[in-house]
Amino acid sequence: MGLSTSHLSFAEQHTRVLLDDIFGDILKANTTNNKCIPSSASGNFSFDFNFGPPYFNQRHIKEEKTLFLAEIKHEDPDSDRSWKIKIGKGGNIYSYVGALGEAMPPNTMPNSYMVDEVWQNVAVDTRLKNSAAGQYFIHQAGPGQNGPELQMPYAFSPTVAHFCSEIDRECRFASWGMVNPTPTKYRTKALFMTRYRDCGDGILEITALVHNFDNKDAADLDDYPVDHSISTNFNYMSFPWFGVNEQVYRDVLLRANYGDQAKTDWITQWPVQQFGSSSKGLSEFGGFTTMAEFRRHDSVVFPGLDQDPNIIPSFVIESRCETHRSVSLRFEAYHVRCRLHASSMLLDIVSSKRRCISCELTFTNSITNNSIDVLNVHAWSTGSGKNTFIFFAPNMQEDEPLQDYDGSFANEVADHVNGALTPNSEIQISWKDSGLHDDDNQCLVLIHGDGRIGATSGTDLFQHGSAGSFKRKYMVMNEIHRRSLLAGSSFGRRTYLLTGKGIESTKNQADNWVSNVVEDLIDIGEYPSTSIHLYMNKGMNFGVTHNAQPCLGTAVCSGYSTPTVEHGTEHGKLFTFPHFQISCGNRTYFGPDVYHFALSNKKEEQFSLVCDESDYSVRPALQLIGFFAEDDCSELENATYDETYHCGKWVACGYKCPVMESYLTQGNELHAVRCCSDTAKLGWTKNKNCDVWSASRLSGEKCFDSAYDAAKQICEANDARLCTKDEVENLCTRRSGCGHDREQVWVFS
């Protein structure tokens, strides 16, 4: 798909080039089977870079403000297909709002706010992960934060480039990934790129890529405490790692393999398995995974078990239930414990499982038929003999998680339970709701492909299941891809996220999109590339041009928009690496060393996002400029990138001038204004063998000398444009008034 750039400043166009070329040809190709055509998509698309309500969590507005980068929204004629996502600094999704409201888990992990239980991509070098230097998980979202220096403001992976387009109905983001947790002895060299595109009909296209820009010979590794003689290899990637709130989407259904679809539509179980209990190859099922609101289950196993025991356990209340402070604080919800009568039939299988985390149940008194709703069972039975207890949390309609234990309210909770469950009664246990008909289920579908069509060579696994935590409410999805991703290479995937109503309806829709999933391994030198040239003025500012565009100032160095290898150098080939403008407060640096301002501690651990030892709240800001050989641009190390840097504007002789040659000059100089039109205009001049009409008497027969931007505006106000350099040099505008034939006129080039 072509990029719409005509309305953008050059700095914006430069960002688009960087975030277009890097995806290679396969991931962004508008192939014949590509069903995503934004220009004909349903509904409305919008984006916003301003942070505001509604917030993800009222208790963490300050943290979310630090995290927030953009909001992207699709409003569909069918409200079941509308969605809204919020993007964090790492370019990852941290909020997904559909017809059921917020789908993402509540993010309650200490020191890991919005860096784990979000939609993100993760890269791992298993050799380093298993070394003595500590864990090595590169998170797109950001690092878990173990040091007090990192607590506020929270640190998230920094954005290095981004843009959005309403015309193309898309947004693109790039970030520098962080090793989790931080501080760490490792230095991470991973760039994450993500494109979100609105395909309409509830479908969001997500194209994600990770680039390994490790350089084991880089100068910034001279003081690196970890052995870097072997290049980093991203050989285990979670693309993506994410999850949903298991109280919003309770069922997980894997599309049956093609050969099995005549017999069954789904591979599924209820209740959903615990995360980590099993995995399945992508090639073992049919290309997508559906998260459904809450299906109606004809047969329901005992809550918390993978299968029904031969005899259903019984729970007989011995005495009044009582509050329990420590368990309540642990789960952030008021819990009680009830002593169980010796007549209770407690099976070993129950004791071995012990709990039903985040299960929404109903407990009914076998004698009175009074009932209470339950949110969580911490333990079906714990202890022995006369000291055997059941621990659970009744649903008290609390809006916020428990923070400060209120003894008086805890007693009210116990009274509520004792009003329903009385001594000598048996607790009859059932699921709170019987579920919805399949057609009434709101669904969220991850279309990840079948590991065959459009796939590269390697091992692809899919894991899912409950995290088993009442507080986290996290239904985990982990798509694992094992590849060998060495320095200079990138791995990327184009997948789809579908929201809509009806399990059958969304299944049929997703079936048609599986073949559109594609992935690519891009080696260095295989990327499409645009040449980039850096120019510096006397004020130590520098700017960027593309291809062979000339520029005022001193040419310093040249590079590319993507990783490139040049042959014929002293060592046979020269690699290019990403270079960044990095600022820390008032200090700036330009170059490839992302750790230039990073602090370290006595353990030689890096604080990648702490750059000012006098103020730990200052975070470095990074901007990707391009890919250059490591030492080629060293002259610019202390220079500052200026997005408004003027490479100059062209002027050309109207016909016969003292200086006949066209030349570049500063855009704020005053020069003659002559305009051109591609259609005939009354009173305008059309010269022989030319296709344009030109005029110099404009806006009420006035003659103008102005700066470049004003000249453009004058032409536009006269329903025309600046003449091109070729049109003026080919004499197509001569003799069009105001004596400008003897003067330099502004031209577009």
Give the model confidence (pLDDT) of 437-485 as tens digits: 999 999 999 999 998 888 888 889 999 998 888 888 899 999 999 999 9
Average pLDDT, the chain: 88
Q: 482 and 394 in one domain?
A: no
Per-residue pLDDT, averaged over 348-358, amounts to 63
Q: Is residue 207 part of a domain?
A: yes
Mark which of 378, 400, 431 sits at the end of a domain. Answer: 431
Per-residue pLDDT, averaged over 714-727, amounts to 94
Q: 326 and 229 in one domain?
A: no
Q: 737 and 683 in one domain?
A: yes
CB 44 within 8 A of CB 74: yes
Q: How far apart are CA 53 and CA 645, in angstroms?
A: 36
Q: 100 and 30 in one domain?
A: yes
pLDDT of residue 637: 95
Per-residue pLDDT, averaged over 330-343, amounts to 89
Q: Is residue 252 part of a domain?
A: no
Percent of the chain clearing pLDDT 90 (strictly above)? 60
Mark which of 398, 414, 431 sits at the end of a domain. Answer: 431
Q: Is residue 449 part of a domain?
A: no
Number of domains in the chain: 3
pLDDT of residue 613: 86
Residue bearing the bigger pLDDT, 349 or 85 = 85
Q: Residue 141 above 50 pLDDT?
A: yes
- CB contact set of 29 (below 8 Å; sequence gap of 6+): none
Q: Residue 6 above 60 pLDDT?
A: no
379 confidence band (pLDDT: 50, 70, 90): confident
Chain segment 187-227, per-residue pLDDT in tens:
889 999 999 999 999 999 999 999 999 877 665 555 566 66
Q: 171 and 56 in one domain?
A: yes
Chain segment 385-398, per-residue pLDDT in tens:
888 899 999 998 87
Q: Which of 222-231, 305-314, 408-417, 497-506 has the lowest mean pLDDT?
A: 305-314
Q: Residue 307 above 60 pLDDT?
A: no
Q: 423 and 489 in one domain?
A: no
pLDDT of residue 570: 47
Q: 152 and 64 in one domain?
A: yes
- Closest by CA position to 53, among listed 61, 43, 41: 61
Chain segment 413-443, per-residue pLDDT in tens:
999 999 999 999 999 988 887 789 999 999 9
Integer angstrom CA distances of residue 197 from 160, 238, 260: 20, 21, 32
572 confidence band (pLDDT: 50, 70, 90): very low
399 confidence band (pLDDT: 50, 70, 90): low
Sort strands 640-641 and 541-546 into parallel, antiparallel or unpaired. Answer: parallel
Q: Is residue 577 part of a domain?
A: no
**Which domain, by its residues, includes 675?**
649-746
Q: Is residue 61 part of a domain?
A: yes
Q: 156 and 80 in one domain?
A: yes
pLDDT of residue 151: 53
Q: 133 and 76 in one domain?
A: yes
Q: Residue 549 above 70 pLDDT?
A: yes
H or E element in which residue 65 lies: helix 61-67
Q: Residue 587 above 90 pLDDT?
A: yes
Mark which of 431, 460, 486 sits at the end of a domain. Answer: 431
Q: Is residue 81 part of a domain?
A: yes
pLDDT of residue 200: 96
Q: Residue 665 above 90 pLDDT?
A: no
- Closest by CA position to 193, among listed 557, 493, 630, 394: 493
Checking 572-575 for CB contacts under 8 A at 24+ apart, the result is 574/629, 575/215, 575/487, 575/488, 575/524, 575/629
Q: Is residue 735 part of a domain?
A: yes
30 confidence band (pLDDT: 50, 70, 90): low
Q: How far apart are CA 474 and CA 625, in angstroms?
A: 38
CB burial of 645-673 (b: ≥16 within 10 Å; e: otherwise) equals bbbbbbbbbbbebeeeebebbebeeebbb
Residue bearing the bigger pLDDT, 690 or 310 = 690
Q: 25 and 121 in one domain?
A: yes
Q: Residue 352 above 90 pLDDT?
A: no
Q: How far apart are CA 569 and CA 394, in angstroms?
A: 72
H or E element in which residue 331 lies: helix 325-331
Q: 18 and 166 in one domain?
A: yes
Q: Is residue 123 part of a domain?
A: yes
Q: 364 and 238 in one domain?
A: no
pLDDT of residue 1: 36
Q: How far apart are CA 594 and CA 16, in angstroms?
A: 22
The pTM of the full predicted model, rounded to 2 decimals, is: 0.86
**Starting from the edge strand earliest in sequence, which strands make up the sheet with 531-536, in order?**
587-591, 577-584, 621-628, 554-560, 531-536, 541-546, 640-641
Percent of the chain clearing pLDDT 70 (strictly above)? 90
Q: Which of 231-235, 497-501, 580-584, 587-591 has the lowest mean pLDDT?
A: 231-235
